[in-house]
Amino acid sequence: MTTVRLNSADPVSFDTDALIVGFRSGPEGPRPATGAESLDAAFGGKLAATLTAVGFSGKPGELAKVPVFGAIAAPLLVAVGLGDSAKADATADAEALRRAAGAAVRSIAGTARAALLLPAESADQAEAVALGALLGAYGFSRYRTNGEVKEPVGDLTVLSANGADGSDGIAGRASVLAESVTLVRDLVNTPPSDLWPAKFAEIAEQRGGEAGLSVEVLDDKQLKDGGYGGLIGVGQGSANPPRLVRLSYTHPEATKTLAYVGKGITFDSGGLSLKPSASMDWMKSDMGGAGAVLGALIGIARLAPKVNVVGYLCLAENLPSGTAQRPSDVIHSYSGKTVEVLDTDAEGRLVLMDGIARAAEDSPDLIVDVATLTGAQIVALGWRTAGVMANDDAVRELVVEVAGAAGEGAWGMPLPEELRKGLDSPIADIANLQPERWGSMLAAGIFLKEFVPDGVRWAHIDMAGPAYNKGEPHGYTPKGGTGAITRTLIGLAERHASI
């Protein structure tokens, strides 16, 4: 695990393997960002001109490795672009810092130590630099045997003029956030042969217990006896039976209770409504919602905000077999409502309906479910922007705002009432699929809303795209599991601590 510290040392003489330096872009070319101005003197004032000569302008995410010829103690200088500061507000700038720190640290994997000289005067800036650096220093080499892996940077120092004056909490906070996200990424990246529902529940018990959470696990027998027809129906085709995990964090002075519900399909083949291969090979990521809930609860327990939070992990494996549920089966959900399963690939809503109904028994002030729920989310919003739906406009706006502050893309989406009739079933209370594909992200939200009791505030986050990066790494985001929405859930808890 990578460590981070703040330090007010002189960047010129600081002993490290690489010095990462932030630059702003402007009409006169790149210029050292706040805090890095004095560094130029060590290079005889030629740093900006040298960077321009190698084509570096300071645009966001731009990187240039520069030889130092002994001008500073570090053998390598990595210039990273932050863009034009004049154009950014504090929220956007924090994200620019996270991304720049992450991209720079990623670019020097294989290096043992690095120091970052990026704007870090305020606590928010210092945290952004520390967090981006830690998140960029992620690698998943558990399954490599060839020894060719470049290990992530292990030891990070954020150089900040204010670093020494009691800012210890900043590095600690960034580490807690990064460790939560790292756990989620690791879980998402783990192949389904090594992560089935009972195994996930075991990890939740162990890691949650270590963080001081109360953890309860319902096994398949308890789920059957308890009437959790959705979890049982989805899980019955697999030799690895389903689980429902309840995690709970309480604060003695809390006045609010939040409930988080995560979709935890450890592998989604589609079931008898089998997916084509190209849509299936990355469905180990279909537990990203449950991962985010687990990671967030652990982070919340460690940060200890004045709020109560319960988390539910709805864990099942969706496979076709002789015991699998069939299209046209009717299941009895935990809420008592009956559901006709027209498509076994619309399984996420079936496990979530039970999780949401159960979470309502905790009398929460707000339920938030998180799920890799629909391909339609990716069609509508792309890979990096989650869809946020809610039964209350203010709640939806709050979730979008908190996600934005964390640098996690999210956008408000409607729940048009007219979509409800598409879910009418000729024989049950509701069907799990509408006959047409248009608006499928919203129809899934409309389905879930049916299981939220009247008077309970609820938001639904569809992060099918953001949970897993099939493309190239960018900023602090690696290939594969991203840990998306984990920090949003932590941020929401912190918001409710002060309401």
Residues identified as active-site: 275, 349
Distance CA 55, CA 370 (A): 42
Q: How far is the CB of 451 from ligand BES (least distance, A)?
A: 17
Interacting positions 448-467 with ligand BES (CB under 6 A): 464
β-strand partners of 4 = 156
Q: Nearer Cβ to ligand BES, position 47 or 195? A: 195
- Residues 205, 198: Cα–Cα separation, whole Å: 10
| 26: contact with ligand BES by CB under 6 A | no
What is the per-residue burial (b if ≥16 Cβ within 10 Å, else e) of 160-193? bebbeeebeebbbbbbbbbbbbbbbbbbbbbebe
Strands of the sheet with 338-341, listed across from one edge: 329-332, 338-341, 430-431
User: Of the ranges 175-183, 300-308, 338-346, 384-392, which one interacts with ligand BES (CB under 6 A)?
Assistant: 338-346
- Alpha carbon distance 226, 229 (integer Å): 9
Q: Name the β-bridge partners of 216.
A: 246
In DSSP terms, 155 is beta-bridged to: 3, 113
Are 234 and 331 in contact by the 8 Å Cβ rule? The answer is no
Q: State yes or no: residue 345 binds Mn ion (CB under 5 A).
A: yes
Give yes or no for residue 372 binding ligand BES (CB under 6 A).
Answer: yes
Q: State the minimum distance, in angstroms, from the CB of residue 489 to Mn ion.
A: 23
Is residue 63 packed enough to be buried (19+ CB in 10 Å), middle (13-18) or exposed (0-12)?
middle
- Does residue 127 interact with ligand BES by CB under 6 A? no
Nearer to Zn ion, 301 or 380 (CB): 380
Place of tokens 């001008």: 71
CA 204, 246, 359, 273 torsion-angle sign: positive
Indicate whether 290 belongs to the interface with ligand BES (CB under 6 A).
Answer: no
- Asked if 107 contacts 132 with a C-beta cutoff of 8 angstroms, the reply is no
Q: Which does 440 bind (CB under 5 to 8 A by kind): Zn ion, ligand BES, Mn ion, none?
A: ligand BES
Q: Does 430 bind ligand BES (CB under 6 A)?
A: no
The listed partner (Mn ion, Zn ion, ligand BES, none) that binds 62, CB under 5 to 8 Å by sort, is none
Check binding of 346 to ligand BES (CB under 6 A): yes
Asked if 433 is part of the footprint of ligand BES (rule: CB under 6 A), the reply reads: yes
The window from 60-68, 158-166, 266-274, 490-498 that contacts Mn ion (CB under 5 A) reads: 266-274
Which CB, 188 or 433, lies closer to ligand BES?
433
State in angstroms the smallest separation of the CB of 392 from ligand BES.
Answer: 25
Closest CA to 479 of 20, 141, 146, 130: 141
| 317 contributes a contact to ligand BES by CB under 6 A | no
Q: What is the CA radius of gyration of the chain?
A: 24
Alpha-carbon distance of 171 to 459, in angstroms, equals 31
Name the DSSP class of 286: G
- Say whether residue 171 binds ligand BES (CB under 6 A): no
User: Contact, 55 vs 150, CB < 8 A?
Assistant: no
416 Cβ contact partners less than 8 Å away, ≥ 6 residues apart: 439, 442, 446
Residues engaged in binding Zn ion (CB under 5 A): 265, 268, 286, 348
Pick between residue 114 and residue 187 the one whose CB is nearest to ligand BES. 187
Distance CA 418, CA 462 (A): 20
- Chain position whose Cβ is nearest to Mn ion: 345
Q: Is 317 in the site for Mn ion (CB under 5 A)?
A: no
Residue 286 vs 340, nearer CB to Zn ion: 286
CB of 105 or CB of 352, closer to ligand BES: 352
Judged by CB under 6 A, the residue of 111, 240, 374, 488 near ligand BES is 374
What is the closest distance, in whole angstroms, from the C-beta atom of residue 448 to ligand BES in the complex?
A: 13
- d(Cα 41, Cα 28) in Å, to the nearest integer? 18
CA–CA distance, 149 with 478 (Å, rounded to integer):
15
Cβ proximity to ligand BES: between 179 and 268 the closer is: 268
> Residue 321 is encoded by which pair of tokens?
């077999």
345 or 450, CB closer to ligand BES? 345
CB of 347 to Zn ion, least distance (A): 6
Structure tokens at 316: 């099942």
Q: Is residue 339 near ligand BES by the rule CB under 6 A?
A: no
**Binding of residue 268 to Mn ion (CB under 5 A):** yes
Q: Which residues in this chain contact ligand BES in the complex, by CB under 6 A?
A: 268, 286, 343, 345-348, 372-376, 433, 440, 464
